[in-house]
Chains A and B, each alone.
Chain A
């Protein structure tokens, strides 16, 4: 076990964990930030997506020892009041079915909008590679377009 001082959602949090523990399980088990989900553990599904220094990463394969001073943003810290344009668009279009994949989808989409505020369908195809077993892809795509439109007019 080793001690780590992590920057998570703008706060410094200290945890004690084995060096090889994936960030996902540190968030969930040590810090009780359970919005980040486990789906595959091998960087395939995207349920565990968080931002590291502004980029979407899959936290199930990132050992805690590799996080260093990197700034981690989770779904709990995406917006103060839960009113990020994507969160609002997701609710307006009633995107979720079971809802399990959606935190990861929103984190992937928010990283995309940061680098590309008005993505085309093809760019969405290329950058959103998360799995949704319930099949909400059509609404996810619409919600990303809606959020992009609304952020712009803000």
Chain B
């Protein structure tokens, strides 16, 4: 994630230092690779378009994958500009270097753009005010802005932004516009419904899968049925005879069937006769876990943080805990199966479809096709979920290769089975946790981790609050691909660390909330080494959720679990309530307190938190991916189980710690603590400590 951040920072700096580019002009037309704009549109800057009829369009710069930024980013502009939210429209901005980091990932959209978009809105507002002041020949200070109108306060004269746009276009662009006083915010912090809500509820075409173009063919691709197998030979004679099939294209390690409909493409694909050969080891999940165990028993090779002297403390302890935790491989399972549209022509390429990283996709396509990226346009639909899957560009690159070879516009459609077998998975991991205890205190904490591809970070609490702390890790080599999965790293780390902390509390007979607060107090007053978190913010969310849930007074028939975690700049603390229904635990209610700086869209923010919690319950309870000879066994939702309404909590109560600080991450931070809070609640209900995901397999 670090490299992305610094790249974004670089782009931002270069864009702003070239102030002339961002502010210094009216843009009758955005650059070559962007959607052309009618010459009469007035654009005070690249985020705001005023049509000749006075209607106002705000441009949302980042991909929308369900995290709400098509609504929340324009809200920031509208706030500073002084628009009537009900009268604006929102469009996706084209891919253009002047927008800086146009990506969805790392909970970074609002964090990265809050300051920039406020400035954009404020600068445009000042241009309208100056234009009106000149028109009326009054001082700018005597004018105010409301709902898209400039008002001369004493005379009551009014002009709309639309009426002022020609004049405003000749105003100088202010380099340092005055920002609104946050206490005057009208939209920021309010509840705003998603800008596409009506289009969604009426089934309008919005998504990549809905793309239609003249002459377009639908394609399905036969890809390797197992990791480690490659294409040996293809007989496509039967496929070519299938009604509607127009073409068959062989790529390096796959075969595409192009047809006049999705169904014909699918039937054509089924008619292919392909020989695959094993060219690498065909791996099994059972071997992964056996390998993990062996490493953890020996001790992982890479030493991370090492405070104090855990070995000698272990020897003197009155009790030592030593346990293993396991998390399975997971698929992303975003609701919209992957798809992508590409039209590769001589000198002109159109790409359109789901991606969290349009800029990266353009670079990858340019490189693969050996063409200049200047001739490639990339358009963004709304996307049916991301969760990190579309940080990889394979779906878009593949579509471009097929279109180039077939010389026709093509919409590649994946089936759910394709998605399951061709993912970049959340890696399987195993952890060993050891703790040394006195009769009433935790003395030492030793975590060791091994996972496919990568190790773990060792800076999360209790590091910084405990004198003896060690964190070791080791990567594990595999040919099964791994990638980013919502709250990468944190989503599994929080499960194991917060479950184990609960084990420690239960051994010591400590209250899990009070004992954590003890540690945050220690970290605040006498930190040990580097602190990777802010203990005061941790304390704030823990105290708030304890208050919300009336911690300490559990209603009858209810069992509670607690967990908290810091990730992507934000803090989340949760109390999960479980009831037993016919002996089986069901999460009935969740309380969650969040510290994420200033909240932009309260409705959207709450939705993200509730969604992350349901996501966390789902993935703690039900799904897992198993490799057998390189092939994924769970091929669709009949075996890759997902939570249904009957497993969802009846209520999720969310509160945000009030804060004037700049916004921090929101799409991910509420996910990590959920699995531990659920497991801890199940322990309270059943006395059974669940150290392995998914839980449902161990509940019988």
Contact = CB atoms under 8 A, between A and B. Distances in A.
Interface in B248-274: 261-264, 267
A141 interface: yes
Contact of A1 (B243, B334, B416, B637): B243
15 contacts: A29-B262, A34-B205, A35-B205, A37-B384, A38-B262, A96-B197, A96-B200, A98-B384, A99-B382, A103-B200, A131-B335, A134-B385, A135-B614, A136-B607, A139-B610
Contact of B191 (A37, A91, A94): A94
A132 B415 contact: no
A131 B336 CA distance: 12
A101 interface: yes
A82 interface: yes
Interface in A74-96: 74-76, 78, 82, 86-87, 90-92, 94, 96
B335 A32 contact: no
Contacts of B243: 1, 18
Contact of B416 (A28, A39, A87): A39
Contact of A126 (B196, B333, B636, B646): B646
Contacts of A130: 644-645
B668 interface: no
What class of interface size applies to chain A in its complex with B?
Answer: 35 or more
Interface string B166-191: 00000000000000000000000001
Interface of B: 64-68, 191-194, 196-198, 200-207, 209-210, 212, 218, 243-244, 261-264, 267, 333-337, 382-387, 413, 415-416, 603-604, 607-608, 610-615, 618, 636-638, 642-646, 648-652
Interface of A: 1, 17-18, 21-22, 25, 28-30, 32-42, 44-45, 47, 74-76, 78, 82, 86-87, 90-92, 94, 96-103, 106, 121, 124-126, 128-141
B385 A98 contact: yes
A29 B66 contact: no
Given A100-B385, A136-B607, 20 more contacts: A25-B263, A30-B261, A34-B210, A35-B205, A40-B416, A41-B636, A42-B637, A42-B638, A86-B201, A94-B604, A96-B196, A98-B386, A99-B197, A99-B382, A100-B66, A130-B644, A132-B335, A133-B334, A137-B648, A138-B651
Query: Which 4 pairs from chain A and chain B are nearest by CB?
Result: A35-B203, A135-B614, A98-B66, A100-B384
A30 B191 CA distance: 39
A131 B642 contact: yes
B610 A99 contact: no
B202 A134 contact: no
B637 A99 contact: no
Contacts of A37: 207, 209, 335-336, 384
A97 B68 contact: yes
A2 to B, nearest CB: 11
B572 to A, nearest CB: 15
Contacts of B264: 18
A92 B649 CA distance: 21
Contacts of A136: 607, 610-611, 614
Contacts of A18: 243-244, 263-264, 267
